[in-house]
Amino acid sequence: EAGVAQSPRYKIIEKRQSVAFWCNPISGHATLYWYQQILGQGPKLLIQFQNNGVVDDSQLPKDRFSAERLKGVDSTLKIQPAKLEDSAVYLCASSSYYRGTGELFFGEGSRLTVL
């Protein structure tokens, strides 16, 4: 079974530029999460999708961050314009909502450096 796929693995941009990250969850997983992990800290939820609907985006800085999950499968997270403090690893995770234990599975992450 293929795991959670993310791209790109690394991205370097200058402040005020835009960037987009892509995630493909494990096949059949209805729930998809985007987390932000700053160096030395645990991941923090940005947004959670159930199929193609948003369950929780309370911690998403909506003035600069946006995310979508069209057709309830792939998802894209966009940052525009980027700030220095957005430098972090952006982790995508998925879980099976309709069967299983609710276990969370992560991708390798996308490391963003904002100069």
Please report whether residue 76 would count as binding other proteins according to CB under 8 A.
Answer: no
Would you tell me how many other CB atoms lie within 10 Å of the CB of residue 21?
22
Tokens (6 digits) for 44: 């923090």
User: Site for other proteins (CB under 8 A): which residue of 2, 63, 70, 103?
Assistant: 103
Please report whether residue 39 would count as binding other proteins according to CB under 8 A.
Answer: no
Strands (E) located in the chain: 5-7, 10-13, 19-24, 31-37, 44-50, 53-56, 65-68, 75-79, 88-95, 105-106, 110-114
Please report whether residue 50 would count as binding other proteins according to CB under 8 A.
Answer: yes
Q: Choose between 86 and 109: whose C-beta lies nearer to other proteins.
A: 109
Please report whether residue 101 would count as binding other proteins according to CB under 8 A.
Answer: yes
Sequence-distant (6+) residues with CB within 8 A of 40 are none
Please report whether residue 24 would count as binding other proteins according to CB under 8 A.
Answer: no
C-alpha angle with apex 26: 71 to 13, nearest 5 degrees? 75
Please report whether residue 53 would count as binding other proteins according to CB under 8 A.
Answer: no
Q: Which residues bind other proteins (CB under 8 A)?
A: 4, 6, 31, 33, 35, 40-45, 48, 50, 55-56, 91, 93, 95, 97, 101-109, 111
